[in-house]
Amino acid sequence: MNNSNKIMNNSFKQTNNSGKIKYCSLIIRYTLLLVFIFFYYNISTFSQTDDNYAGARSSAMGRTGLTLQDTWAVFNNPAATSNLNKINIGVFYENRFLMKETGYGAIAFSSPLLGGNIGFGVTHFGFELFQQNKIVLGYSQQLFRNFSMGLNVNYFSVRQSEFYGNYNAMTFEFGILATPTKELSIGTYIFNPLNLSYFEDSNLKMPVAIKLGISYLFSKSLLLAVETGKAINGHIPVFKSGIEYKINQHFAFRGGISLKPIEYTVGLGYNTHGFNFDLAFAYHQILGSTPKISIHYEF
């Protein structure tokens, strides 16, 4: 009887200890996750300016999206939607650093309107303890034969645990796209030029950023793009570069690199009858790997 009681007590202690270990593991996991979010996303501004992008095509090319005229220009450079003559809709998702709590997704829509193009987009990042959302509404138009301009109005929403509170803000961004020749494209993008802050705290400023990008089409198969930029209260890599090589009419191979911090990217694309399917994979020198996928369709 005593031996039976001892066995039951030991079993209860083991079960109790197992529960404590799982509970402690869960606490450690979420604590490290919050530290990661505060560190990587610069909680003082809630937004790293180089994270305002979408699309696995530009992601595979080192995130050099300023001159790419596709569905994802709604986020990457509003001016680059001006020559899209069809309705476009797309979905993008990336599993940042292979953590489900840091998933980032986006939906984009664009359509010709009044001689230009209207764009709409929504992004979401985070999990139940920290969420960052963005709504974009914009318009672009080709002003001259080789010159286009676009403007986006952005609404930001940050949802956190009760201890930290929630924040909301509005700002705008605009872009320019020049194509002096069929091969050469030059893009400029400016985010939050008036240095606006969040509604709840006038001292909590959103980033101010400017980017410059150039791409050159060496042949029908090979595209090279390079970008640089500067930010206040945010981060933009000093240098980004990417290539796209069209293997044939339907398949494309892409690769890229960004510096400070170093991130390597690679990807594949497939398109047929207006349907575009893109995959990308990025490796950050500190934070690890990020797989990405996007699908968009031209009606």
Residue 167, token pair as written in the block: 């924040």
Average pLDDT over residues 34-40: 50
Q: How confident is the model at residue 149 (pLDDT cuts 50, 70, 90)?
A: very high
pLDDT greater at residue 260 or residue 93: 93
pLDDT at 18: 55
Query: Both 5 and 98 in a single domain?
Result: no
DSSP labels, 140-204: EEEEETTEEEEEEEEEEEEEE-TTT--EEEEEEEEEEEE-SSSSEEEEEEEE-TT--EETTEEEE
- For the cut 70, the answer to whether the pLDDT of residue 25 exceeds it is no
Closest C-alpha to 42, from 153, 129, 111, 130: 130
Chain segment 197-228, per-residue pLDDT in tens: 999 888 888 999 999 999 999 999 999 999 99
Percentage of the chain modeled with pLDDT above 70: 83
Q: How confident is the model at residue 11 (pLDDT cuts 50, 70, 90)?
A: very low
Query: Both 119 and 65 in a single domain?
Result: yes
Number of domains present in the structure of the chain: 2
Query: Both 178 and 254 in a single domain?
Result: yes
Average pLDDT over residues 262-279: 95
Residues 6 or more apart in contact with residue 132 via CB below 8 angstroms: 41, 46, 47, 124, 125, 126, 156, 157, 158, 159
Query: Both 252 and 170 in a single domain?
Result: yes
Query: Both 97 and 206 in a single domain?
Result: yes
Query: Both 141 and 261 in a single domain?
Result: yes
Query: Both 109 and 252 in a single domain?
Result: yes
Do residues 229 and 212 touch, judged by C-beta distance below 8 A? yes
Q: How confident is the model at residue 15 (pLDDT cuts 50, 70, 90)?
A: very low
Phi-psi region of 50 (alpha: psi -120 to 50; beta: other; left: phi over 0): alpha
pLDDT at 102: 87
- For the cut 80, the answer to whether the pLDDT of residue 33 exceeds it is no
Query: Both 273 and 162 in a single domain?
Result: yes
Q: How confident is the model at residue 279 (pLDDT cuts 50, 70, 90)?
A: very high
Q: How confident is the model at residue 43 (pLDDT cuts 50, 70, 90)?
A: very low
Chain segment 241-256, per-residue pLDDT in tens: 999 999 999 999 999 9
Residue span of the structural domain in which 91 resides: 49-298
- For the cut 90, the answer to whether the pLDDT of residue 140 exceeds it is yes
Q: What's the CATH code of the domain at 69?
A: 2.40.160.60
Residue 116, token pair as written in the block: 């230009």
Query: Both 5 and 125 in a single domain?
Result: no
Could you count the other beta carbons within 10 Å of the beta carbon of residue 253?
Answer: 14
Q: Is the pTM of this model over 0.85?
A: no
Whole-angstrom distance, CA of residue 196 vs CA of residue 229: 19
Average pLDDT over residues 182-207: 92
pLDDT at 34: 52
Query: Both 172 and 212 in a single domain?
Result: yes
Query: Both 153 and 124 in a single domain?
Result: yes
Whole-angstrom distance, CA of residue 255 vs CA of residue 193: 31
pLDDT greater at residue 141 or residue 44: 141
Query: Both 35 and 69 in a single domain?
Result: no
Whole-angstrom distance, CA of residue 236 vs CA of residue 228: 8
pLDDT greater at residue 101 or residue 47: 101
